[in-house]
Amino acid sequence: MIGYLQGRPLRFGTDHLILLVQGVGYEVHCSTQSLQDLEGKTFVEVWVHTHVREDAFTLFGFSSEDERALFQSLTKVNGVGPKSALNILSGAPTKQIVQWIEDSNTGALSKLPKIGKKTAEQIVLTLQGKFVRAEAGSASSRFTARPQIVSALVNLGFRLGDVEKVVDQMPADTDLEGGLRSALSALTQ
């Protein structure tokens, strides 16, 4: 699989660029953010995600590893394919999208291109809490069971807003089993 390319941009389109690498022109689909970062440069580096299907071999390129990582995370969400993920990344900077996911801001996410309320909720359920990077030399005290607890409770039929209110009150060291027990108790009173 192709994971990285460097070369000379030959031509820019609205959603892609042709990148000339040692005499070969690669069509690389990019977010608006990446295209803006790369435009005007005579030599660029592109982090690549190679998407292979039976009928297509498509390259998706990013100006940063963080953007590629977010793209790859988004494509793991039910209902979000590579083109949808690229549309999401074109709608806002990477850090902003991650912040909306971490804050459960489904309203902001649903305003991104071609993302409805249900898809925004699914993105939050699937990805919330998965973007935390442990700082060097210290253990993260981040509430790591939160996404699993929220997902399980929503799948049991509880409303996302009610679930989030209960889960947000739990201590950071809550485990999955204890969190589910505690939340079920609170939600069924």
Question: CATH assignment of 4-127, given 2.115.10.20, 2.40.50.140, 3.40.50.1460, 3.90.1150.10?
Answer: 2.40.50.140
Q: The whole model's pTM is what?
A: 0.67
In the chain, % helix, strand, coil (3-state, to 5) comes to 45, 20, 35
Q: Which residues make Cβ contacts (< 8 Å) with residue 117, sequence separation at least 6? A: 106, 110
Q: Which residues make Cβ contacts (< 8 Å) with residue 66, sequence separation at least 6? A: 94, 95
pLDDT at 144: 59
Distance of CA 179 to the CA centre of its chain: 25
Continuous segment of H or E residues that includes residue 37: helix 32-38
Mean pLDDT of the chain: 85
pLDDT in tens, 83-123: 999 999 999 999 999 999 988 999 999 999 889 899 999 99
16: helix, coil or strand? strand
